[in-house]
């Protein structure tokens, strides 16, 4: 599982060609992938313990994520069919 000091460092790694992970640690919080849209524009991660959401926005993850933008926000909903690590 990859660890990053903050969202900017994670974003920089994604932009440099890092593979999209199932789990990632950013700022000491473990995020589990929840869902992604089929258009390839958004990937959503969550953490129940800290009630945080990490979202990766990109033009098309199927061709490249070198334009990825990472945003961390408060969680407004969670999926009960996901086994969150935290």
Coil/strand/helix, residue 32: strand
Each residue of 69-81: pLDDT tens digit? 999 999 988 888 8
Pair 78, 28: CB distance under 8 Å: no
- Please state the rounded mean pLDDT for residues 9-16: 97
Domain ranges of the chain: 2-74
pTM beyond 0.85:
yes
DSSP H helices in 1-86? 7-15
């Amino acid at each position: 599982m990859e660890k990053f000091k903050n969202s900017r460092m994670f974003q920089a790694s994604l932009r440099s060609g890092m593979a999209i992970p199932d789990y990632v640690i950013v700022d000491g919080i473990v995020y589990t992938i929840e869902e992604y849209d089929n258009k390839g524009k958004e990937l959503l991660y969550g953490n129940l313990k800290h009630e945080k959401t990490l979202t990766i926005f990109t033009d098309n993850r199927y061709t490249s994520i070198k334009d990825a933008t990472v945003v961390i926000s408060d969680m407004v909903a969670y999926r009960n069919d996901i086994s969150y690590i935290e």
